[in-house]
Amino acid sequence: MKENESSLTSLVAAFGRAYHSKYDSPKIFNDFMAIKLISPKEYQNIKENMVKGIPFFNREIAEKFKDNPDEIIKWITQVQLSPTPLARAAYCENVLLNEFSLGVKQYVILGAGLDTFSLRYHELENTVEIFEIDYPTTQSFKIQRLDEVRLKIPSNLHFIPMDLTKMFSYEKLFEKSFTYKKTFFSLLGVSYYLTKDELSNLLEYLFDKVPPGSSIVFDYADERLFKEKGLSNRVENMVKMAAAGGEPMKACFSFSEMEKMLEKAGLLIYEHLSPTKIKERFFNNRNDYLTAFETIHYIHAVKKQ
């Protein structure tokens, strides 16, 4: 990420969630609060840039819908932008809500961006502490935006500015009332941007300071990431766009590599969703463009007793 810039990635991801909440049916993940964190000007700018950029994604679609910008936006959003963020968020929150019933009292969101979990679950304010970790510039942008739209920061939400490509530090969490309790971590849309060593070190360090039974949900790209083109070249486009945006994708893993990395961190894989399983769970029986990305997997891993 460039110095002194909030993450464009977080804004575009919020746009995708807001668009889905407003226009798509059935809902994979209904983030009805996302629209509140995007200004009308930002929303319009993203739409206009999508329409202008359609030839990059698909020249046939550009020609077919040249007089229908709404259909272009739907195509880009449903094919390229939204499938992974929507499904991984739905999966993560399903696991998280179950973990709360099993005694989790702390939720750490790594690479939080414009996450809205705390804004959608006010009933948890007195029972669960939520820690959002992200770049200082992204967090400053979010805090400012919450103030601009007059959304009160819940008392159980703590902002922890941190660069996850550098050493993770628990000191800042301990300062914000983090304790040695069963903890749930989410690491969504982050693993691609870390090297294999950075991700391995992060997982080891995260679970060094929490009790057994603590767990994490994250997504990762398999070993086809830099070779697979995907539907309408969307996998290749994703890699190109990340590089062009100054946040290049760095790592992909075979399942055996991932298994070994988690074992090294003292974790067992509780559930692994391949692209096929993701499609079956979240994208079946649709009549739009939404379908699971070809190279992306989800994992729920738990610290061993």
Average pLDDT for the chain = 94
- The residue among 165, 155, 92 whose CA lies nearest residue 134 is 165
Which of 129-138, 163-172, 216-225, 269-278 is the least confident region? 163-172
Residue 13 — left, alpha, or beta (φ > 0 → left; ψ -120 to 50 → alpha)? Answer: alpha
pLDDT value at residue 3: 42
- The residue among 301, 90, 112, 95 whose CA lies nearest residue 214 is 301
pLDDT value at residue 7: 65
The stretch 165-171 carries a mean pLDDT of 83
Q: Any idea where the domains of the chain sit in the sequence? A: 8-81, 83-303
Measured in residues, the chain has a length of 305
252-255 LR contacts (CB < 8 Å, sep 24+): 252/192, 252/220, 252/221, 252/222, 252/223, 252/224, 252/225, 252/226, 252/295, 253/196, 253/220, 253/221, 253/222, 253/223, 254/222, 254/223, 255/222, 255/297
What whole-number percentage of the chain has pLDDT above 70? 98
**pLDDT tens digits, 72-101:** 999 999 999 999 999 999 999 999 999 999
Residue 258 pLDDT exceeds 50: yes
pLDDT value at residue 9: 78
pLDDT value at residue 4: 43
Q: Which residues, in sequence order, are CB contacts of 81 under 8 Å at separation 6+?
A: 12, 15, 16
Fold of 83-303: Rossmann fold (3.40.50)
Going by pLDDT thresholds of 50, 70 and 90, the confidence category of residue 45 is very high
Query: What single DSSP character describes residue 253?
Result: B
pLDDT value at residue 305: 84
**pLDDT tens digits, 62-75:** 999 999 999 999 99
Tokens representing 135 are 């770049």
**pLDDT tens digits, 20-42:** 999 999 999 999 999 999 999 99
pLDDT value at residue 107: 98
Tokens representing 220 are 């990762």
Residue 113 pLDDT exceeds 90: yes
Tokens representing 143 are 């805090």
Residue 161 pLDDT exceeds 80: yes
Going by pLDDT thresholds of 50, 70 and 90, the confidence category of residue 169 is confident
